[in-house]
Amino acid sequence: MDSEALKKYSVLHPKPAGLTLQYGTAGFRTKAEQLDHVMFRMGLLAVLRSKAVVSTIGIMVTASHNPEEDNGVKLVDPCGEMLHPSWEEYATQLANAEDQELQKIITEICQKAAVNQYKDASVFIGRDTRPSSEKLSQSVIDGISVLGGQYHDYGLVTTPQLHYMVCCRNTQEQYGKATLEGYYEKLSKAFTELIKQSPSFGESQRHLKVDCANGIGALKLSEMEPYFPKEVLIHLYNDGTKEKLNHLCGADFVKVHQKPPRGLDMKPNERCCSFDGDADRIVYYYKDATGHFHLIDGDKIATLISIFLKELLAKVGQTLKMAVVQTAYANGSSTRYLEETLKVPVHCVKTGVKHLHHKAQEFDVGVYFEANGHGTVLFSKAAETKIRQLAKEEKDDEKREAAKVLENMIDLINQTVGDAVSDMLVIEAILALKGLTVQQWDTIYTDLPNRLLKVQVADRRVIDTTDAERRAVTPPGLQEKIDALVKKYKLSRAFVRPSGTEDVVRVYAEADTQENADALAHEVSLAVHHLAGGKGAPPQP
């Protein structure tokens, strides 16, 4: 390691005094002007990680659904998954080190993680459309170069596209070609194969309105449009030419506010969807004939995909194990429908994509979605091999055709991470093949009314949870109080959990009516304020 070069460059990317950041599920995120040193140092870390695992590592410069003035960075591991938890600690140490300690901390990481300094390092870089992203990705390149790493800068890409590239590279392109064209071709080929078999194909065009959150999704969808069959028409809104990223639009806005984004004109019963700022989340919605807004969130997306895959697996006649993975935020109606009607096992894990992804890997077919619209489907190696073999060799026509549909689904789904473009095409293909309207999809089950609230606390760490965050262990007496409150309402449940990013406690409640859900959420938030060191005045109803 060239310590002189490291000194020289770290002076160009100084750490602001007194700033401490934590690498969380979303990597680092804060105001863009505070991130220059972090970007430089994550360039350094990516080189170390690459040498440790002898594979290409990804770095994505994005703050997803945060406001435009924020930015962030996350590292992508060799199979396109999120950075290994043990390295999240190294990331935090490196980001918070004083300038003169950098050399020492790098040496410590190399010792702890058995990094072979003489191995080559390779890093893929991508960024979103924020005004600050280009300069910040240049700082990443400085960090990679100081430690002698090789890099490929993909420039403007969606987060899932970068995950895809990393996975392609590290599977020697078995997963696909590590180019944007490779991504567009793989997905559009599978999508076209599927949609061609739909009962009404060729008779009429399918229209879909897409709110791109004024982000990267608009650029990449318009690049991909020439690859789509002409029977499918995608109309882009909030394409970033006029308004600010994520401002009054995007998947997060629509999900939280339960209303359509600005800049998208909805006619009754039209299918619409929203991406988030870096295109790794998607939600659908429509207005009914009376003008009432209906949101179709990640739970309903997971349910639609599960129904479709379960039918195909039954036709193929293989004993492949399928399961759905959710978090405590999943609507109780979705869990009930999946378990009781569809008879698919459901597993609940802690909030955070990495927990869902990890659990889904335990099954032949693992479907996971967070209610916010981030999710995908994972197929085990054995399941994928079996399905591809049946698609080729199965003598029985019906079984072979079902296996071919499954094979195209495998190719259409981005298994590395939730991907709004891929998920949108999966949903469009399923709706077409099953001949379902958006309203019919929506009525598969009715969501229980729910309410999500935040309570300001002095220190969020006073709350500790268990049972996939569904029960509070501390402070003493809080869970007993919640249990007593829940008993007052029908079909009700409630839980509290500390936020991963700020000193607030999140309260979730559902019940038989909106009035009861609101009342329960309010009563639980009063209990949190009282027992967990609430700040300021008690919450008002």
Angle, helices 298-316 vs 397-412, to 10°: value is 150
512 is in an annotated binding site: no
499 is in an annotated binding site: yes
Contact 516, 489 (CB under 8 A): yes
371 is in an annotated binding site: yes
372 is in an annotated binding site: yes
DSSP state of 114: T
The helix/strand/coil state of 125 is strand
Cβ neighbours around 125 below 10 Å, total = 24
The tokens for 179 are 């180019």
Helices (H), 13-132: 36-53, 85-96, 102-112
370 is in an annotated binding site: yes
Angle at 180 between CA 177 and CA 182, to 5 degrees: 30
Q: Which of 10, 50, 55, 64 is catalytic?
A: 64
* Residue 422 bears catalytic tag: no
Strand 464-466 relative to strand 450-456: parallel, antiparallel, unpaired?
Answer: unpaired
Strand 493-498 relative to strand 375-379: parallel, antiparallel, unpaired?
Answer: unpaired
Give the contacts of 231 (CB within 8 A, at least 6 positions apart): 195, 201, 202, 204, 205, 206
Q: What is the 3-state secondary structure (H, E, C) of 427-438?
A: HHHHHHHHCCCH
397 is in an annotated binding site: no
Angle, helices 36-53 vs 133-146, to 10°: value is 50
251 is in an annotated binding site: no
Q: How far apart are CA 356 and CA 369, in angstroms?
A: 8
The helix/strand/coil state of 472 is strand
DSSP state of 445: S
Q: How many helices (H) and strands (E) does the chain have?
A: 18, 19
DSSP state of 510: E
Q: How far apart are CA 522 and CA 302, in angstroms?
A: 29
497 is in an annotated binding site: yes
Q: How far apart are CA 528 and CA 538, in angstroms?
A: 10
For residues 132, 135, 137, 138, the Cα torsion angle rounded to the nearest 10 degrees is 180
The helix/strand/coil state of 461 is helix
280 is in an annotated binding site: yes
Q: How far is CA 108 from CA 55, 99, 104, 122, in A?
A: 21, 15, 6, 21
Contact 532, 507 (CB under 8 A): no
Residue list, annotated binding site for Mg(2+): 64, 276, 278, 280
Residue list, annotated binding site: 64, 276, 278, 280, 370-372, 497-501, 506
Residue list, annotated binding site for substrate: 370-372, 497-501, 506
Instruction: Name the residues annotated as catalytic.
Output: 64
